[in-house]
Each structure stands twice: as structure tokens, then as C-alpha cells.
Amino acid sequence: MFRLYAHRGAAAELPENTLAAFRRALDVGANAIETDCHLTRDGHVVLSHDATGERMAKVPFAIADATLEDVRAWDVGRGCGARDVHRMPTLEEAIADLYGIPLNVDIKSRMPGAAERVVAIVRRARACETTLLTSFDVRTVRRVRALGYEGPTGLAQAEALALLVTPLRVLRRFPLRGVAAQLPHRQGRIDLGRRALVEKCHALGLELHFWTVNDPARARELRALGADGVMTDDPRTIAEALRDGRHPT
């Protein structure tokens, strides 16, 4: 099944990484959710792309220095001018609200114990099967795997680079761990949306997801190439385009 990941939820319509944005994304056609997490000072895993509340809540304070009670007081809709108040959810709340929906969690926290906390939460919720854990930081991803995480993991940034530059015959001999490569569809002037890359991933047993795709024609093109999914800020528009094959007006 082709995965239409709502990148931080329906971020084009509602404050990103909030329960409302996740629900809206599913309502308009996404079938998977991508989100990011950080660890608070008192050990709670909360969903936020940024390490601080500056952009979304207009609070110049690091999540790592805040308690859960602190971040609960932040209105993360302020940064985008939302009328309603929006709170930063915990990972537990998101899993409960989205139970059974494929969830991609990018562990952005570099605090000691972050991987352990995330894995424990997902296990306790019995959501390993539907929760893909990943991080740009290879040490974090390796720690998740070392913990014996029962669910899928994505390639870290260094592993993704190895995928791009290492010949297929070598990767077959020394396989990468993880089940999914998640790459930008373009990197500067380099177009990564190529059939050869899709075929290389599939030959290695990897899914290939592209981010962040907000252009309907590009989303259709990547799906036609055989990509396994795309991440988008605008799931309503992209879902409509993928559903009927037309560029929405």
C-alpha cells in the first residue's frame, strides 16, 4: 500500500504536531502520520519538531529545560496565528488517539535516555508493529535497535548516505539495517526521484519514502516511479491528486 504520510499532521491547515492536525490529516486522506519528539527535563516524550517553543509557541525556552507542566502551558498555535489554543501532546496521547494508524516517529532529542523512553512508551502501548522509529542521528537509531525494538526502524542520515553512494553488490554483502529509507525528493540540484534509486531500495528489501512533497504532480510522478510513500504538509491536496489523477484547481 502506498503511504501518504501527513508530515507533522495537516500542517498546511492546523498547528503542526498537534492532535488536531493529526486528526485532520486522516480525515482528508492521509493514511499515515509523521511526527517528531523531544524529551522534557522530567523525562516525558512530547511531540515537537523544534527543540524550543520559540517558533510555534513564541516561548524562547528549550523543551529539554522544561517540565511537562511547563510545556503544557504553551499554546503551540500562536506561531501560526491559530484562533484556538493548541497544546503540545505527549507520545502516549498521540498513540492512543491514533491507535492502529501507521506512525513514523523521528527521535530528535539528544538527551541521554531518549531512545529508551520512546521504545518503552511504544512497547507499553503495544504499538510496535505500527510505529516506525527513526532519527537523523545514527547513534540514536542504533540505540533503538540495540534495545531490541520489535518494530520497524528507518535509516539514519549516515545510513541513507551509504545507500546512495555504495554499489548494490556491496550493500547486498553488507546489508543496511532498517526497513525504510526516507529521503528528500530533491537535494539542491540533484533529483533523487529516480526509478533506479527506487529499484535499488527494493532490491535491498527497503521501502522508499520521499519528503517533503507538496506539489501534486510531483507526488503522482514519485508514486508512478514505484516509491512506497511520500510525506506532505498538505495531505488534503495531495490525497485528492493521488485519488483522481488530476491537478486540483
Note the pLDDT tens digit of each residue in 120-144: 999 999 999 999 999 999 999 999 9
pLDDT at 245: 61
The 8-class DSSP code of residue 128 comes to: G
Chain centroid, CA 238 distance in Å: 17
pLDDT value at 209 more than 60 = yes
* 26-65 per-position pLDDT tens digit: 999 999 999 999 999 999 999 999 999 999 999 999 999 9
Closest CA to 99 of 133, 134, 132, 130: 130
Only one residue has cell 488534503, namely 236
* 61-109 per-position pLDDT tens digit: 999 999 999 999 999 999 999 999 999 999 999 999 999 999 999 999 9
The 8-class DSSP code of residue 90 comes to: B
Collapsing DSSP states into helix, strand and coil, what is residue 240?
helix
Chain centroid, CA 212 distance in Å: 10
| Structural domains for the chain | 3-244 (3.20.20.190)
pLDDT at 247: 44
* 149-189 per-position pLDDT tens digit: 999 999 999 999 999 999 999 999 999 999 999 999 999 99
CA angle 212, 2, 150 (to 5 degrees): 90
pLDDT class for 11, splitting at 50, 70, 90? very high
pLDDT value at 244 more than 80 = no
Chain centroid, CA 144 distance in Å: 16
Size of the chain in residues: 249
